[in-house]
Structure 1
Amino acid sequence: MSLDPADLADELRLDVVSYDYTPRYNVPPGSFVPIVVERLDDEGQLTRRLETASWGLVPGWAKDTKIGFKAFNARSETVLEKPMFRQSIKRRRCAVPVPGYYEWETTEDGKQPWMMSAAGGGPLFMAGLFEFWKQPDQSWLVSTTILTMEAAGHLQDVHHRMPVFLNRGAVDDWIDPAVPSSNVPPLVESTLSQVDPASVTRHKVGRSVGNVRNDGPELTAPVA
């Protein structure tokens, strides 16, 4: 999570930036991450916003936030039916912009971490969902989850799952809150069909990233 919001403002045509930016290079579930959403403002105007969200979806009906640690990913195959996600997939879709993410390959010598990033540079956009949960102090917690799908292309050599990537045009379609509920299933299908694993490049990184207490740009450096 080392993307400066200023670098996203023009590309995404952001109207409001309220993401609390702190560069991080080792981001576990439960951390705060940026999400791109479209919401009506107090005057009823649709605005595109970069907001801060807790990674791990907490639906409005949850008794506490612990449920979020089980919902940092949402399987695209079942997202339309699962009670945890079926309301947010209809009304609260977002994009999660990241410079890259880690994935672990199981090898004979243990788990080997890889750094996945956008081929050609720039951010990766992941399809996500978001929710609001009223906290005991009556303030609202915004939380998010990332959609996943069966891995394809060279990414399946590392892991059997991968995030649902959004190309720049798909970001606009995915976060559009005006999509009727009846059109959400074909939207999901269309979004999945556009995912291109060749848009992602990868390199091996050191195993110190496996400890969340380690945090610094050196974690993303290639290793032999």
Structure 2
Amino acid sequence: MCGRYANTKSGEELGRYFDADEVADVAIPASWNIAPTQQVPIVVDRLSKTDPDEVPPSRLVTSARWSLVPRWATELTSTYPTFNARSETVSEKSTFKGALVRSRAVLPADGYYEWHTVTGVDGKPVKTPHYIHDPVEGELSFAGLYSWWRPPVADGQEPAPWMLTATILTRAASGPAASIHDRAPVMLPRELVDEWLDPTVEGDQALVDAMVAESEAVLERLELHPVAALRGDGPHLIEPVAR
């Protein structure tokens, strides 16, 4: 799973990296300790509302709440976590399968954290956080999904604004990260971002499986190192500590 990650690039920097047509006027502050339900940057491709068959999709960098809420949900919070979606079953789960069809996203990251758990001398689990990053590309493109949501409107009441929400797909870990945890985000090679985001393509399990297979190349080149406990925020969180 992926429950904490870092992004320190501005919307403008992400727009240049992902060749975006537009960067929304939203706050994308640098953070080395992003947690579920916080606002996070996402990249999406959108079809033209007036002429979707003739006008090519446009790319937008904006922000979303990190924990997907399907449009049909009646409440913002869920009884189970939705900040991650298992790639193996995403096309089967009611929470995610609708978004998979045409609402696919990339969540950019500098790197992410995972905890290595061992049994201590007292028999209790000891968890050590590790920071994981790509030394080649320097940017991770987490495959994700997004959904627009707002609470049901009561009779006589004004509707609340729509809220953009998102999730990160995960897969079985491999490569260096597999030494500390059995799951990892699905990380797209830069050249496959366009294919994943393309809203003219109907997403299904076959597309997900293809992206998972291609993500192997990124997983194999990742580097990781232990870090101190994740408290607060700042660049000190990704500094290596002695084993």
TM-score for the superposition, normalised by structure 1: 0.91
Distance in 1 separating the partners of 2:174 and 2:221: 12
Amino acid at match of 1:89: L
2:11, 2:62 within 8 Å by CA — same for their partners in 1? no
- The yes-or-no answer on 1:125 pairing with 2:145 is no
Distance in 1 separating the partners of 2:72 and 2:79: 12
Question: Which of 6, 9, 12 is the equivalent residue of 1:3?
Answer: 9
Question: Which of 132, 135, 140 is the equivalent residue of 1:116?
Answer: 132
Amino acid at match of 1:132: W
Where does residue 178 of structure 1 map in the other structure? Answer: 200
Shift of 1:56: 0.3
In structure 2, stretches of 5+ residues that fail to align are 1-6, 121-125, 154-158
56-65 or 14-23: bigger deviation: 14-23
Question: Which of 107, 110, 113 is the equivalent residue of 1:102?
Answer: 113
4+ residue segments displaced more than 6 Å: none
Could you report, residue by residue, the CA deviation over 1:47-67 in whole angstroms, capped at 9, with x for unpaired residues?
A: 100111000000011111112
1:106, 1:112 within 8 Å by CA — same for their partners in 2? yes
Could you report, residue by residue, the CA deviation over 1:86-110 in whole angstroms, capped at 9, with x for unpaired residues?
A: 1111111001110011111102341
SS of 1:165's equivalent in the other structure is coil
146-155 or 100-109: bigger deviation: 100-109
Matches within 5 A, 1:33-182: 33-41=40-48, 43-44=50-51, 45=55, 46-67=57-78, 70-109=81-120, 110-135=126-151, 137-181=159-203
Shift of 1:8: 2.2
Shift of 1:187: 1.3
TM-score for the superposition, normalised by structure 2: 0.84
Shift of 1:43: 4.6
SS of 2:97's equivalent in the other structure is coil
Distance in 2 separating the partners of 1:91 and 1:9: 21
Where does residue 156 of structure 2 map in the other structure? Answer: none
Distance 1:168-1:57 versus aligned 2 partners, 3 A rule: same
Amino acid at match of 1:193: A
Where does residue 222 of structure 1 map in the other structure? Answer: 240
1:72, 1:145 within 8 Å by CA — same for their partners in 2? yes
Could you report, residue by residue, the CA deviation over 1:135-168 in whole angstroms, capped at 9, with x for unpaired residues?
A: 4642111000000011112211110100001001
- The yes-or-no answer on 1:15 pairing with 2:30 is no
Where does residue 24 of structure 1 map in the other structure? Answer: 31
Shift of 1:41: 4.5
- The share of aligned pairs that are identical, in percent, is 36
Distance 1:68-1:47 versus aligned 2 partners, 3 A rule: farther
Q: Which has a greater percent of helix?
A: 1
User: Rg: which structure is higher?
Assistant: 2
In structure 1, stretches of 5+ residues that fail to align are none
- C-alpha RMSD over aligned residues: 1.7
Distance 1:102-1:51 versus aligned 2 partners, 3 A rule: same
- State the number of aligned residues: 218
Shift of 1:40: 2.6
